[in-house]
Structure 1
Amino acid sequence: MTVAAAKACDYFWIPFKTDCEELLGRFQLTDSVRYETFAAIWRSMDFSSVFYGITTHQERRAFTRLVFATVYDYFLPPYNFQIRAGALYTLYGLYHAQLSLPKEKIWIALKDWVHIQKFVSDALSCQHLDVVYVYRKLESDKVFFYTTMPKQLTFDAKRRFLNKDVNEEFQDRSARVAELVNTDTLEEIGNVQGHYERIKLSLPASSSISVTLVNLTAKLLECALEFQQWQGKNAAAKNKDSGAKAKKSTQQTESSLRADLLSSIKSKSYGHLSKASKSRRHRQVEMDTSGSGTDHVQDCTTSRRSRPPSLSARTRQNLGKKGSGGSDERTQHWLLSSMEEDKTAMKRSQQRSRFKW
């Protein structure tokens, strides 16, 4: 991605995110997860025209990647089921409305695979077949591109922290039950229940009429308390798992620090050793036996296994000896096996003159 394409993406990112949240907000007001309802909102907003206006092929492709990455964030937790279904429908519409050829694929990170599969299984168990069909359709068309990261990595800090804020209106509030079943609500339900019981007593067939529970207020309060206890247990279990993972990571960090410390100590110790040069490795150590404390060094030297003399040393030792008469008879290297009486053999034969044309 060039610098111009990156700047264009940064310029169009905020307006597109605003339009995307407007689309999902309208879909949330319908209290439905049907694709027919979403398609009506899509057509009324003419959302497929977001790709118009970009002329160059490179900027169009970069903008398509940015669009998929922005909508992909709403397809994951902590957003509620309806917003995630709307994000899936949005990805489906944007993929078929894009102008890039060949079509850009939707990046899915491997770390998010568990959340996506759980979302599809929940939709199937709740009989939301529209959601399941759209996901299976995208999967069969090989639209998804499974990657390590959901978007392309960059070293620019300004572009790295884009799209980090979470819209609280689209989230699942954990205290929704507590907000619904509060003191005022229970009091109002109790008043309506008492008024209903008084009207029922005034009827002649009051004993045979049983539309609501007699202790409806107590039942609602009991259910709310059970849900809060279950939610607290789940939160405690998650905190315990995260604490165990943090403790394990801390132990791994300590072991890695210990290993790094040992390796640094070893490297320093090996670095102080002086290495002998190649010319001095095969020399015998000359010992000075005049001083004290040399016996131990001499014993260590004699105990060391002596190397046999080299071929040149053995040749000089066997053929380079002085004669019995005291004269230095040097051995000719070109004639090693001649007899001393053969004087003619000590002379070299004259080399033949080369033939001249």
Structure 2
Amino acid sequence: MMEAGRKRVGEMESYRECVKSDCELLLTRFKLTESVRFEVFSKIWKDMKFSHIFCGTERQEKRGFSRLALDTACSYFLPPFNFQIRVGGLYLMYSLFCCQDASPPEQIRLALKDWEDMKKFEKDALDASHMDVIFILRQLFVHKAFQFTAMPTLLAFRKHKVKPSMLHEEFIERPSRPQELININMLEELSNIHELYEKQKTAVSPSLGHLDSSVKLIREDLVPQLRSTVMDFYKWQQQKNAPPEDDSGEGTSSSLQECSRRADLLSSIKSKAFGLAAEACKSRRHRQVELDLATESGPAPLLGHTRRRKPSLKARTDKNVHISGDVWKDALTTTNIHHLSSLESVEEKTRKRDDSKC
């Protein structure tokens, strides 16, 4: 029975990429509308006949496939996706939850760590007066569609490991930390603190109506300058992410100039590289690298490695050791081994041989 359960889990995981591609196709069409209205989403849902995604599942596969579809849709409801894609993920979760054929209906797993992100998303939608987003989210709460868990995925012993999938780059929200840090409320608070600071400086100043230069510790136009800096960064970010214009002649000429500058830079680097001798590697450091510098009228300089053969030990001995006279003749004669091991001289051997003859 456990083996059959593991087999069904493996089959469900094989459907994950197909479900993910279908969800991304629907969200891509919803993104092109540049809208967050549920009416627009429902029209795309009906045109694609997305409710037929549950058709064809067998009885024992209904609950597993519903859990797979809801988990896939829930991944688009959470960061790092932008606000429109997260709204589309919310609509997709609601539609799949209402159209599933599992009884009782399968709930949407939501980890406790994602609760703060969901509440922040609800606050942003409420501040922007997106009432249809708030209505759909409240409907999910009313129908008890969420199951708050410790982990976002269901853990089991020896469960088939799910490979992490790549995120869709077009759905990911661009980094906007400066805009989040420097918001309207913070600028208003900073402006009030700046006014109080100016009043305190005027109160402690010895001369009435004139501030001492020693107490001017911050810029007077701090708040407007901070706001303008954030706006300039936002405009630069929009221009950087905007698609390039191919029709403009100025862009073409600038790109050509950039290419020519890069080509000149590469040629200068290559000329410098070939004009100098390269450092030898560790295995060839005993070989000397010689650079033949020719004259301007002569041929081009040739780089090459010249190998100097070291003289043998016999040649160095003949060159450094000088022997003359009879010693040199004795040195050239061959020495026998038994002569080295003999303890008596040649004359004693001869005398003994003569005595024996007598």
How does the TM-score come out when normalised to structure 2? 0.48
How does the TM-score come out when normalised to structure 1? 0.49
